[in-house]
Amino acid sequence: MIVLAARRLAAELGAWRTTGPGYIALADRIRLLSLDGRIPLGTRLPAERELAAQLAVSRTLVAAAYARLRDAGYLRSTRGSGSVVALPDRGTAPTNDDDAAVVLDFSKAALPAAPQVGEAAARASRELPAYLNGNGYDPLGLPRLRRALADRYSARGLPTVPNQIMVTLGAQHAISLLARTLLGRSDTALVEAPSYPHAYEALRAAGRRLVPVSVDADRGWDGDGLEQALQRTQPALAYVMPDFHNPTGAVMPPAQRERLTAAAARQGTVVIADETMAELRIDGATELPLAAFGPAVLIGSMGKTVWGGLRIGWIRADEELIRRLVQSRYAQDLGTPILEQLIALEMLGTYDELLRFRATQLREGRDHLETLLRELLPEWNVPHVTGGLCTWVNLGAPFSSQLALAARDRGLLLGAGPRFGMDGVFERFLRVPFSYPVEDTRRALGILSSAWQSLDTRVAVQDDFAPALV
C-alpha cells in the first residue's frame, strides 16, 4: 500500500483554501486529486494530526474533511489501518465509468480514429499469415516499418537509417523505457513545467528528482532558465516537447533548439524530444526535428495522429542507444504486436493525406473553441495556437481545481491546471482540448460557463506557487 506523507499531500493540495468552509475546500481538493489520478486509489492518507500540523489548521478541520470524503465514498477508514482513497461504491478498482454523472470526457487531448483505420486493419489482417511461422517476439520492430519510419525522418530533413529506430507500444512506453535505461536512482531529470503528467510519473519512478523549467503559452520556453538548470544540476536526461507543447501549444524556435542541444551536449545530458504532436500542424511552416540541431533522442507515436487505440510508437536514437534499449526492454516486455505494426505500415502509405485531413479537422475545432470562449467567457485569456490538440487557458485567478470539480458535477470532465504541474501549481490555468466534435465542444463550453458562474471568484486566492507563470 502506498502511504502518502503529510508534506507530499500538502504540496499536491497547493492553494486549496477558498472563501467557503475550510473543511469543504480541503475535502473537494483531495477528491479532485483522487479523480485526476494524482493520488492513486488505495493510497493511505496521512493521519489527521499530521496533516493538520503540516497545513497549520486545526485537527477538527481535517477530521471534518475526511468525514465528508468518507460519506461521499471517496475514503475508507479502518481502525488501525488509517484512511484509504477509494471511489464511491467501487472499492479500490478503477473502472471506465468511475463517475456516472460524467457526460462529456474532455480530460484527454485526443482525436477519434482516422477514417482509414478500419480498411487499414482489414488489409493488415490479410498480410498477417505471412508472419505466423515466426515466434512473434519483436523487440526492435518489423524491418519494413522501421524503414518506413526512417524514410519519413529523412523526408523531414533528418537523415535516418532503420537501425536508428525502435518500435514501441506507444509514446508512454517509449518514455518509460528511455527513463529506465538512462536514469539511475541518484540521477536528476530536467522537465518542462507544465508538461505531460505521465512523463513526470515515468521519470520520477526511474530517477531521484525532477528539475522544472517553465514554458509559457505566449512567451514559450525560458531559454536562460533551461541553460542555467542544465549547468547547475547537470541532469542525466532532459525531457522536452518542442512542437505544439502539451498543454501550452508552444513551438520552440530554431535558435532555441540549437541553444538547448548545445547546452545539453556540454553537460553530457541526453535530450529526449517528445514529437507526439509534431505533425499536427494547423498553420504556418514546419520546424526541423530537434535532432537536426544537435544530439537528441526523438519519440514519435500514432496515438495522436491516427488513433489512441493503435498502440504504436517509436524511438529514433543512435544505434548504440538502440542496442541498450533492446537489452533493457527484455526485462519488461518482448516486443510490439505484429498486427498493429502492419496496420501502422498501411497508415503510413497515406499519412500525408491523413495529416491534411487532421489539419482541416483541428482548424475547425480550434476556431470554434476560440469563438465560443470569447462569447461565453470573455474574461479568460485564450492563446492562439498553430497546431496540436489543446489550448492552455489563463483563467485570471487560481480557481482551476474548483472549476474542474464544478464542471464534473455538471457532467463535464476536464484536467485541472495542477494536473500538468508539480506540487499544486498552475491553479490559474485550464487545459481545454479542441479535438472533439463541434457539437460536443459547444455542450462542453456551455457546462464550463455555467460552472464558472457558480464559483465565488470575487476574492482571489493568492497563488504562491508560480508567480512568474501567471
Q: What does the domain layout of the chain look like in residue ranges?
A: 6-85, 104-112+353-469, 119-349
Structural domain 119-349, CATH architecture: 3-Layer(aba) Sandwich (3.40)
pLDDT digits 0-9 by tens, 145-162: 999 999 999 999 999 999
Q: Which of 200, 297, 215, 284 is nearest to 256 (CA)?
A: 215
CA atoms lying within 13 Å on the CB side of residue 448: 32
Q: How far is CA 163 from CA 63, 137, 141, 293, in A?
A: 59, 18, 10, 20
Burial group, residue 462, by CB count within 10 angstroms (0-12, 13-18, 19+) = exposed
pLDDT score, position 428: 93
Q: Which of 100, 99, 72 is nearest to 85 (CA)?
A: 72
pLDDT digits 0-9 by tens, 404-450: 999 999 999 998 999 999 877 899 999 999 999 999 999 999 999 99
Q: In the 8-state DSSP scheme, what is residue 37?
A: T
Q: What is the topology classification, in CATH, of domain 6-85?
A: Arc Repressor Mutant, subunit A (1.10.10)
pLDDT score, position 77: 84
Q: In the 8-state DSSP scheme, what is residue 238?
A: E
pLDDT score, position 459: 45
pLDDT score, position 90: 42
Neighbouring C-beta atoms of residue 175, cutoff 10 Å? 26
- Write out residues in the chain with pLDDT < 50, as ranges: 90-100, 458-470
Q: Which of 78, 80, 64 is nearest to 27 (CA)?
A: 64
Q: What is the DSSP secondary-structure string of 338-403?
A: HHHHHHHHHHHTTHHHHHHHHHHHHHHHHHHHHHHHHHH-TTSB-PPPSBSSEEEEE-SSS-HHHH
- Tell me how far the alpha carbon of residue 339 is from its chain's centroid: 27
- Residue 210 contacts by C-beta under 8 Å, 6 or more apart in sequence? 188, 189, 190, 191, 200, 203, 204, 422
Kindly give the pairing relationship between strand 75-78 and strand 82-85.
Answer: antiparallel
3-state secondary structure of 305: coil
C-beta separation of 339 from 408 below 8 A: no
Q: Which residue has the cell 485531413?
A: 357
Kindly give the pairing relationship between strand 165-168 and strand 104-105.
Answer: unpaired
- Tell me how far the alpha carbon of residue 248 is from its chain's centroid: 11
Distance CA 81, CA 379 (A): 47
Domain 104-112+353-469 in CATH 3.90.1150.10: yes
Kindly give the pairing relationship between strand 209-216 and strand 270-274.
Answer: unpaired
Q: How far is CA 176 from CA 171, 264, 307, in A?
A: 9, 21, 20
Angle among Cα 129, 135, 140 to the nearest 5 degrees reads 100
Do 119-349 and 104-112+353-469 have the same topology in CATH?
no
Distance CA 414, CA 404 (A): 6
- Tell me how far the alpha carbon of residue 122 is from its chain's centroid: 31
pLDDT score, position 1: 61
H helix intervals, 102-240: 117-127, 143-155, 171-182, 197-206, 223-233
Distance CA 197, CA 37 (A): 10
